[in-house]
Amino acid sequence: MKMKRGKPKVDIPSVAMGDIAFNLLIFFVILAQSQDDSHIQWTPAKADNLKGAGYTRVTVTIDKDQKVYLNGQELSEGQLASRIESHLGDAPAGQRKVMLKAHSDCTAAKFEPVIEAISQAGGELVHILEDKKKQ
């Protein structure tokens, strides 16, 4: 008796699709991390009666080592005002929010020139703080 050989099934292997997607995701997450400020170490100061800060295109951070960052990129205080101005462009009032994430223990010698630069650039300052009640 002769056995008939069946046609070999040709198919794109889809088993690895999940792994490919997973690796792509990790790649884009790492890429995005270089643009945000989640890698900066800082502790927010605490205060009462806080409101939602909303959305902004510009975030200035002063970390625990008193280094200044604009949207996650380190820069000097001297460059700050012009860089904020270029980020804000011609945005109308109400859409010129600049978030300031200053480390709780950073000193006035550091944060006051930063506040001045934000003011000079026409930014609407929002201090990012932590609610005292959360403790």
Binding site residues, another protein, CB under 8 A: 1, 14-19, 21-22, 25, 29, 45-53, 62, 97, 99, 102-109, 111-113, 115-116, 118-120, 122, 124-131
Q: Exposure of 58 by Cβ count < 10 A (0-12 exposed, 13-18 middle, 19+ buried)?
A: buried
Assess contact for 84 and 117: CB atoms under 8 A.
Answer: yes
Least separation, in Å, of the C-beta of 34 and another protein?
16
Assess contact for 37 and 71: CB atoms under 8 A.
Answer: yes
Q: Which is nearer to another protein, 54 or 89 (CB)?
A: 54
CA 68 to CA 37: how far, in whole Å? 11
Least separation, in Å, of the C-beta of 25 and another protein?
6
| φ and ψ of 83, to 5 deg | -70, -40
Q: Which is nearer to another protein, 62 or 87 (CB)?
A: 62
Least separation, in Å, of the C-beta of 8 and another protein?
20
